[in-house]
C-alpha cells in the first residue's frame, strides 16, 4: 500500500499527529472516545476530530481515580489526559454510552482543565419514534454547544460537505473490506486494521483522498488469483479491537479475518448518510440504522442476528469474540450471542484480552486448535 507509512505514523501516535496538524492548519483539535460521537458536526465546525484509544504508557495516574476493574481503554485514555499528553486538545467530547465512558467524562471534567468539555446525552433505547426525535434534538444541542465553544457558526452547507467526506471515507473502507473478503491475501489484516484506525485520526479530507487512491491501487491487484491453500474464513466480533497482533497470529495459523463487528472496524463505516433535507435528521438516521453496540438497546435479537447474517454473507466458518477485560456491556452480551451462534451451528471462540500487549503464545495455541476444529 503506497500510503501505508502515512497511516501507520498517525496510528503510532495520534496525539502527536493531531499536534502537527494543528500547527500546520490552525484547526482546533477535538478529542472523542467512542463511535457514537457525530464526527460530521465537528468537521462542519472547521475542527479536527481525533479518537483516543488507550495509552502506550504504563498506567499509574489513572489508577488514582479508577478502579483496576475498569477496562484498559478508559484507564488508558484517562492516563493520557492526566499525564498532560492530551494537553494540545482544544476540547473533549463524551457520549452517553457505557458506564465507564460516562464516569470517565466526570473524572476528566474535574481533573483535566485543558479545553472545553461536552457530553452528548444520547438515548439508551434506539428503536422508538421518540428516540429519533430526542436524538435529533440532542444533535441540535450539540451543534449549538460546539458552535458556542469554538465561537463559530456551523452552517448546513458545512454539514453537507462533512457528510459527503465521511460518506467517501465509509464507502471506500467498505469497498476495501469487500475486496479483501473476496481475496483475503490482498492485504494483511493488520494493514487493514491500521487503515481503519487512521481514518479516525487523520485529517478527513486527506484521508478521503488517500482512501480513493488506495482503493484504486488494490483494485488493480484484486484480479490476481489467490495462491496457496485457502485460509479458514473468520469473523472477529466484540467491542473495540485494540489488538493488532491478533491478525498475523490468525494468518500464521491458517486463518483470515474476512469481516468484523467492531466499533473500530465495520461498525465505524456501516451505513452511509443519504442525501435529503435536514442534515441533523440524516445523521440521526445513521446512528439509528447502524448495527447497535450493547451500550445501547435496539431489540433482543439485533446483535446476534446481525452476526449470524455476517457469517453467512461473508461465507465465514467461525467467529472469534474478542472481549476486552472488564468491558461489561460486551461481557453481558456474549452469553446470549453465543447461545444464538450455537443454535445456528456457527463455531465460536471467546478470547479475553487485557491490553494490546496481552497476545501471546497461549493465545496462539488456542487459535490454532480452534482453526483445526473448523
Ligand atoms: S463498544 Fe460501544 S460504547 Fe464502547 S467505544 Fe465502541 S461504540 Fe462506544
Ligand atoms: S464499551 Fe467496553 S471497552 Fe468500550 S469503553 Fe465501555 S467498558 Fe470499555
pLDDT band at 225 (very low <50, low <70, confident <90, very high): low
Separation of CA 71 and ligand 2 centre (Å): 6
- Mutational test site, ligand 2, from 36, 73, 242, max ligand atoms within 8 Å of CB: 73
Å from CA of 95 to ligand 2 middle: 12
Q: In this model, does residue 296 exceed pLDDT 60?
A: yes
Helices 156-182 + 279-289 axis angle, to 10 = 30
Give the Å distance between the CA of 296 and the centre of ligand 2.
12
Q: What is the DSSP string of 153-175?
A: ---HHHHHHHHHHHHHHHHHHHH
Please report the sign of the dihedral spanned by the C-alpha atoms of residue 72, residue 192, residue 189, residue 322.
positive
Which pLDDT value is given to residue 354?
Answer: 78
Spell out the residues 6+ positions from residue 22 whose beta carbon is closer than 8 angstroms to its own.
28, 29, 48, 88
pLDDT digits (tens, 9 = 90+) for 130-174: 999 999 999 999 999 999 999 999 999 999 999 999 999 999 999
| Cβ 35 under 6 angstroms from ligand 1 | yes
Q: Is 323 in the pocket of ligand 1 (CB under 6 A)?
A: no
What would you measure as the largest C-alpha separation in the chain, in angstroms? 59
Find the mean pLDDT for residues 81-96. 95
Instruction: Count the Cβ atoms, other than its own, within 10 Å of residue 82.
Output: 21
> The whole model's pTM is what?
0.95
For residue 292 the three cell numbers come to 447497535
Contact predicate 120/93, CB 8 Å = yes
pLDDT score recorded for residue 358: 59
What mean pLDDT do residues 55-84 have?
92
Q: Strand order of the sheet with strand 91-95?
A: 48-51, 29-32, 91-95, 116-120
Measured over the CA atoms of residue 293, residue 295, residue 296 and residue 302, the dihedral's sign is positive
What does residue 130 show for φ and ψ, rounded to 5 degrees?
Answer: -65, -30
Domains along the chain with CATH numbers? 4-152 (3.40.50.11890)
Mean pLDDT of 64-82: 93
Q: What is the pLDDT of residue 224?
A: 73
297: DSSP letter: B
pLDDT (0 to 100) of residue 187 = 93
- How many angstroms separate the alpha carbon of residue 228 from the centre of ligand 1? 37
Q: Whose CA is nearest to atom 6 of ligand 2?
A: 98
Residues 319-359: tens digit of each pLDDT: 999 999 999 999 999 999 999 999 999 999 999 987 655 55
How large is the average pLDDT for residues 84-97?
A: 95
Amino acid at each position: 500500500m503506497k500510503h501505508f507509512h502515512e497511516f501507520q505514523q498517525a496510528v503510532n501516535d495520534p496525539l502527536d499527529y493531531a499536534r502537527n496538524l494543528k500547527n500546520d492548519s490552525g484547526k482546533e483539535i477535538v478529542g472523542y472516545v467512542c463511535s457514537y460521537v457525530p464526527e460530521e458536526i465537528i468537521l462542519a465546525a472547521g475542527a479536527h476530530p481525533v479518537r483516543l484509544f488507550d495509552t502506550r504508557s504504563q498506567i499509574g495516574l489513572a489508577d488514582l481515580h479508577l478502579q483496576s476493574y475498569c477496562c484498559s481503554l478508559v484507564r488508558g485514555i484517562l492516563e493520557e489526559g492526566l499525564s498532560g499528553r492530551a494537553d494540545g486538545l482544544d476540547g473533549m467530547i463524551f457520549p452517553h454510552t457505557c458506564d465507564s465512558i460516562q464516569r470517565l467524562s466526570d473524572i476528566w471534567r474535574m481533573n483535566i482543565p485543558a479545553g472545553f468539555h461536552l457530553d452528548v446525552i444520547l438515548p439508551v433505547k434506539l428503536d422508538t419514534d421518540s428516540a429519533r426525535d430526542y436524538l435529533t434534538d440532542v444533535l441540535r444541542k450539540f451543534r449549538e454547544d460546539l458552535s458556542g465553544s469554538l465561537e463559530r457558526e456551523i452552517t448546513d452547507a458545512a454539514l453537507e460537505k462533512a457528510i459527503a467526506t465521511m460518506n467517501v471515507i465509509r464507502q471506500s473502507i467498505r469497498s476495501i473490506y469487500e475486496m479483501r473478503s473476496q481475496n483475503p491475501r490482498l492485504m494483511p489484516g493488520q494493514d487493514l486494521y491500521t487503515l481503519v484506525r487512521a481514518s479516525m485520526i487523520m485529517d478527513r479530507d486527506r484521508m478521503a483522498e488517500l482512501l480513493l487512491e488506495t482503493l484504486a491501487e488494490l483494485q488493480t491487484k484484486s484480479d490476481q488469483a489467490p495462491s496457496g491453500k485457502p485460509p479458514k474464513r473468520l469473523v472477529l466480533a466484540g467491542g473495540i479491537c485494540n489488538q493488532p497482533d491478533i491478525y498475523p497470529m490468525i494468518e500464521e495459523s491458517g486463518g483470515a479475518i474476512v469481516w468484523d463487528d467492531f466499533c473500530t472496524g465495520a461498525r465505524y463505516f456501516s451505513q452511509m448518510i443519504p442525501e435529503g433535507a435536514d442534515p441533523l435528521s440524516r445523521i440521526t438516521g445513521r446512528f439509528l440504522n447502524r448495527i447497535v453496540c450493547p451500550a445501547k438497546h435496539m431489540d433482543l435479537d439485533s446483535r446476534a442476528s446481525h452476526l449470524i447474517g455476517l457469517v453467512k454473507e461473508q461465507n465465514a466458518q467461525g467467529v472469534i469474540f474478542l472481549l476486552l477485560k472488564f468491558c461489561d456491556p460486551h461481557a453481558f452480551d456474549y452469553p446470549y450471542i453465543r447461545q444464538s451462534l450455537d443454535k445456528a451451528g456457527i463455531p465460536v471462540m471467546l478470547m479475553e484480552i487485557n491490553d494490546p500487549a496481552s497476545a501471546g503464545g497461549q493465545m496462539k495455541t488456542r487459535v490454532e486448535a480452534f482453526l483445526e476444529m473448523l
